[in-house]
Amino acid sequence: MRVIRESSVAAEARALTVGKPLQQQRRRLGKGWLPYALILPILVYEIFFIVYPIYEGMKLSLYRQPRGGKPMQWVGLDNYKRMLRSDTFWNVMQNTAVFTIGVIIIAVGFGLGSALLLNRHFPGRTMARAMMTIPWAFPDVPAVLTFIWMLNPNFGVMNVFARALPWVEVNPTWLLDQRLAMVSVILITAWKGFPFYSLVILAALQTVSQDLMDAARVDGANKLQVFRSVTLPAISPTLLLLVVLALIFSFKQFTIIFLLTGGGPAGATETIVIRVYNTAFRFYDFNYAAALGVAGFVMALTIALVFIMIQRHQEMEMA
């Protein structure tokens, strides 16, 4: 009896031992489809709402719509040749570059300054951090309407500050002057976006090693030297990412510019996005607007690829 019982126990143990790999294999096969099922909705969304519209836009840019309701004609790269030969296109690209660079410098610069300030300990710091997020959280349309009233040349509050300057004798026409319009649009856009950059930089500052900062102070470094030698290298990957994000966000900015000036006066604030809208929905030249859109897409893609190359280069240096 004892032998029979021992043999039965050994058989059960052998069955369990053999069954374990089979169970593990079944679990692996059961879990193998889960990542694909989770990514499937995102993939479907990307194909139908991003990839397919881009394809249709590229295809539309290769045609021309004749007058009289006739079917579209294949013209190849004629729309792109027209775009490259147009002085208006290069003026638009110049406006886009000025607007983008201005927003990056002011928004990221103010974000860095405010983050350094809010990283210090002072009474009411929590309230100050919360108040700083108001411009970013405020909807675009009410914010722009508020600034339109503030910049009104007749009764706007900004005229009070402008008239306090000794060289200003009359109320400036903020949004009607070609020189002031671009400056106004840049400042408003930077004001609207800098809290986001400030919060991200503030989070990066929390990760800077306090031991390295204390060691630098012990070695006799002042605050500027500590920032340049310890803080700045630690947050430089975050700053690079924010510069790229600011470039992309400002490159595709539409709402603020359109509501403030609509691209005027005389095209002084017309960026590539505003030009695409005006060409398509004001002049009804959808084929040429598609070519402009493709040009903007190629520029944005180039920016993203350059950022990926820089990021990989930094990762290789750190490794």
Same domain assignment for residues 102 and 224:
yes
Asked, for residue 262, whether it belongs to a domain, the answer is yes
Same domain assignment for residues 44 and 126:
no
Same domain assignment for residues 58 and 131:
no
Given a contact cutoff of 8 angstroms between Cβ atoms, the answer to whether 171 and 162 are in contact is yes
Q: What is the pLDDT of residue 96?
A: 92
Asked, for residue 279, whether it belongs to a domain, the answer is yes
Q: What is the 3-state secondary structure (H, E, C) of the chain?
A: CHHHHHHHHHHHHHHHHHHHHHHHHHHHHHHHCHHHHHHHHHHHHHHHHHHHHHHHHHHHCCEECCCCCCCCEECCCHHHHHHHHCHHHHHHHHHHHHHHHHHHHHHHHHHHHHHHHHCCCCCCHHHHHHHHCHHHHCCHHHHHHHHHHHCCCCCCCHHHHHHCCCCCCCCCCCCCCHHHHHHHHHHHHHHHHHHHHHHHHHHHHCCCCHHHHHHHHHCCCCHHHHHHHHHHHHHHHHHHHHHHHHHHHHHCCCHHHHHHCCCCCCCCCCCHHHHHHHHHHCCCCHHHHHHHHHHHHHHHHHHHHHHHHHHHHHHHHHC
Asked, for residue 252, whether it belongs to a domain, the answer is yes
Domain housing 163: 86-318
Q: What is the pLDDT of residue 24?
A: 57
Same domain assignment for residues 63 and 97:
no
Asked, for residue 274, whether it belongs to a domain, the answer is yes
Same domain assignment for residues 92 and 69:
no
Same domain assignment for residues 154 and 197:
yes
Same domain assignment for residues 188 and 274:
yes
Asked, for residue 295, whether it belongs to a domain, the answer is yes
Same domain assignment for residues 114 and 192:
yes
Q: How many residues does the chain have?
A: 319
Same domain assignment for residues 43 and 138:
no
Q: What is the pLDDT of residue 1?
A: 46
pTM metric for this prediction: 0.83
Q: Which tokens sit at 57? A: 């836009």
Same domain assignment for residues 110 and 249:
yes
Q: Which tokens sit at 103? A: 């927003």
Q: What residue type is 261 in one-letter code?
A: T
CATH, residue 197 = 1.10.3720.10
- Which of the residues in the chain have pLDDT under 50? 1-4, 13, 16
Task: Quote the number of domains for the chain.
Answer: 3
Q: What is the pLDDT of residue 168?
A: 79
Same domain assignment for residues 106 and 70:
no
Same domain assignment for residues 40 and 58:
yes
Q: What is the pLDDT of residues 223-241, one digit of tens each?
A: 888 888 888 888 988 898 8
Q: What is the pLDDT of residue 115?
A: 92
The number of beta carbons lying within 10 Å of the beta carbon of residue 233 is 11
Q: What is the pLDDT of residue 311?
A: 75
Q: What is the pLDDT of residue 27?
A: 58
Asked, for residue 81, whether it belongs to a domain, the answer is no
